[in-house]
Structure 1
Amino acid sequence: MEQKPLLTPDDLAMLLGISRTSLWRLQQDEKLPEAIRLGPRMVRWRRESVEKWLLDYEQM
């Protein structure tokens, strides 16, 4: 199965093992990689940015 290059909020919450509420809290606190706004109600994250962010987080 091919991995999607853009992650939805549900995808990212599942990947991180957190709820959507916690995801939005992290986003609001600017603790996640920068999101891409595709529309007024559509937000996505680049998979490669999230993977790099996770690696950097693990090395702290």
Structure 2
Amino acid sequence: MITNTTSFTESNRVISITELSQLLSKSRVSLWRWQRDGVLPLPIKIQGRTIGWRESAILEWLESQEVS
């Protein structure tokens, strides 16, 4: 279980598609498909065409994926 002891700056850190790919052990293509299909939380636009995901949103999403 993930606790809320993470500091504000860590939980609101923006992670790239490469970091997310490593974190979830999934290919970038799989992640783009998950995003397209609404499985992943929506990314945020950082600058121009650069996008990323708030770490807090990914952690919440991962927690919701746990099987009871």
Shared fold (TM-score, shorter chain, > 0.5): yes
| Pair member with larger Rg | 2
1:22-37 maps to which residues of 2 (within 5 A)?
Answer: 22-37=30-45
Amino acid at match of 1:10: T
Q: Mark the runs of 5 or more structure 2 residues left unpaired by the alignment.
A: 1-9
| Shift of residue 56, structure 1, vs aligned partner | 0.5
Task: Report deviation, 1:50.
Answer: 0.2
Residue 60 of structure 2 corresponds to residue 52 of structure 1? yes
TM-score w.r.t. structure 2 length?
A: 0.75
Residue in 1 that maps onto 2:19: 11
- Over 4 Å off, 4+ runs: none
Question: Structure 1 unaligned runs (5+)?
Answer: none
- Count matched residues: 59
- TM-score, length-scaled by structure 1: 0.84
- RMSD over aligned Cα, in angstroms? 2.0
Instruction: State the identity %.
Output: 36
